[in-house]
Amino acid sequence: MAFLHSVPAGIGPAVRRFGPSLLRLAAGVTVLWCLWRQVGAAPFEDGLRAITGQAVVAAVTLTVLTTVCSAWRWRVVARAFGVHIGLPVAIGAYYRSLFLNSVLPGGILGDVHRAVTQGRRAGDVTQGVRAVAWERLCGQVIQAVVTAVVLLALPSPVRPTLPYVLAVIAGIAGCGVLAVAVAARHGRSRPARAARAIAADLRRGLLVASVWPKVTLSSLLVVAGHTATFVIAAQVAGCTAPLGELIALLLVVQIVGGIPLSVAGWGPREGVAAWAFAAVGLGAANGVTVATLYAVLMLAAVAPGAGLLLGDAIRRRRGPGPSGESRGPDPAPLTMEAVRG
């Protein structure tokens, strides 16, 4: 007890504030360290050496298409919640978000920046966060469904156990839906209010006939674009696996790569690529090489986001114009205060 009293008062809030981020960062570093111990640095170097101009052009082109589709999806979801975003503004914000996700720990801070920025512009940060959270969740759910269908149809290292995994996921999802439905009808506690808000968002927003088909279509196009970029990376890296088997492997890599435990996007993606390629006899080193090349191609493809962020910083530094208005969009700086907001 004396030890507890001797701990500085600020330690507890600091742990709650930064602890999850540090744990995610540690997890990503651990995966990369284990990979380095297992395969060495050569596969990462091979991925960097395999870069070609044609591959970069293809990745940039495909990313333009997927970013437009993602921005359209965000615009549709935001409009369902009463937030109106112009498509050019949404595309620019999405490029900023993708770049920040690619260079900052965790892989989600770009989405936080996008949510807070748009929420401030709309005068309601909570509404902005809800729109981005639902937009990203819808994309992940549809990607998971596409992955499950492909893995059931094509050979993959997870195919024998996939029906059992899907049954468990379906059971958990069903229990979650039931819990939300029950909580939404009873009680005034914070969980009950959250459950009612979720139910209302689904009923009045995402499941409306004018919303979910557009969200589904845009998400399918995004999955197709990212998978095509991954296939290009695999072929440029010299992978000779049949296309169907390759697509199944790369969809698994994409799903795991979306887990927010990365170091600037690195970690789980390379780890699962090593496992998946090794499981089908292609070699763990080849999986790491393909994942490395894909990461570099995607970083080049989202580089316009860096230019937009630089422009934002220059406009903030210049300050308001003569009329008192900002010279252009003034997204919120990515500070810890913004992230916590």
Average pLDDT, rounded, for the chain? 81
Q: Which of 38-47, 173-182, 278-287, 320-329 bottoms out in mean pLDDT, i.e. has the lowest?
A: 320-329
Tell me which range, 8-22, 57-71, 135-149, is most confidently predicted by mean pLDDT: 57-71
DSSP string, 135-151: HHHHHHHHHHHHHHHHH
Contact 93, 330 (CB under 8 A): no
Whether the CA torsion 178, 182, 184, 185 is positive or negative: it is positive
pLDDT digits (tens, 9 = 90+) for 197-215: 787 888 878 888 889 999 9
pLDDT surpasses 60 at 46:
yes
pLDDT digits (tens, 9 = 90+) for 307-341: 999 999 998 888 765 444 444 444 455 443 444 44
Contact 271, 34 (CB under 8 A): yes
C-alpha–C-alpha distance, residues 190 and 59, integer Å: 45
| Mean local confidence (pLDDT), 11-37 | 66
C-alpha–C-alpha distance, residues 239 and 37, integer Å: 23
Q: With pLDDT > 90 as the criterion, what percentage of the chain qualifies?
A: 33
pLDDT surpasses 90 at 122:
no
User: Measured at the alpha carbon of residue 206, what is the angle toward residues 202 and 209, in degrees to the nearest 5?
Assistant: 115
